[in-house]
Amino acid sequence: MKFAVIVFPGSNCDVDMYHAIKDELGEQVEYVWHDTESLDEFDGILLPGGFSYGDYLRTGAIARFSKVMQAVVKAAEAGKPILGVCNGFQILLEAGLLPGAMRRNESLSFICKPVELKVENNQTIFSTAYSLGETISIPVAHGEGNYYCDEETLAALKENNQIVFTYQDNPNGSLEDIAGIINEKGNVLGMMPHPERAVDELLGGADGLKLFQSIVRSWREANVVKA
């Protein structure tokens, strides 16, 4: 499986994402600059964290108009797995690939620490390696991770089982403790915690590795013909 790590001006977690795929997962991966117009050669698309375009206007608001985002939308429509982490999640929201919006943390301060998440849906292409209800430890690092949506959108998220991860001890005030959601089609996941920073026990834990393993396993089951 071949992954693209999208790099925007201001991305700072792209190297972590690359390391997770190449060194821990053992899959192909390339950095892809924000002005790239095609992602056809890639099987999975990763939008890493950071401060794209300095977070001017709103987090992700400018990155949403980068040339590469047209290709990301095309990949999403084609059913390819798209993962947006932290700033990547914010960009997916701004691009309309996921519903809702991000607000400042309730504390109005930057948060950087490991948090415990509950796996609310383990039947997605991103979460099959987890057990339903499993508690995992993944670090967060954000100032605007307070997820919000209107009542109608929240009802739809619940009805369609689109809430994949929730916080056990909500660090930022997110509505309904939401930490990660998928689109209705099930191939686009946005989450504020950083799974790429939890792929090796030397980093403090490896709970995030299962997310990437889930993607690869699901892709192979769908695309690799067995003899």
> What residues are annotated to the active site?
86, 194, 196
Q: How far is the CA of 173 from the CAs of 178, 193, 200, in angstroms?
A: 9, 14, 29
- Degrees to nearest 5, angle at CA 153 with 150 and 155: 105
What is the enclosing helix (H) or strand (E) of 92? helix 87-94
Q: How far is CA 8 from the centre of its chain?
A: 15
What is the enclosing helix (H) or strand (E) of 155? helix 151-159
Strands 101-103 and 111-119: unpaired
Q: Do 172 and 158 touch, CB atoms closer than 8 A?
A: no
Residue type, 187: N
- Coil, strand, or helix at residue 108? coil
Q: How far is CA 139 from the centre of its chain?
A: 13
User: CA-to-CA distance for 67 and 63, rounded, in angstroms?
Assistant: 9
User: CA-to-CA distance for 70 and 92, rounded, in angstroms?
Assistant: 12
Q: Name which of 40, 98, 41 is nearest 64 in CA terms.
A: 98
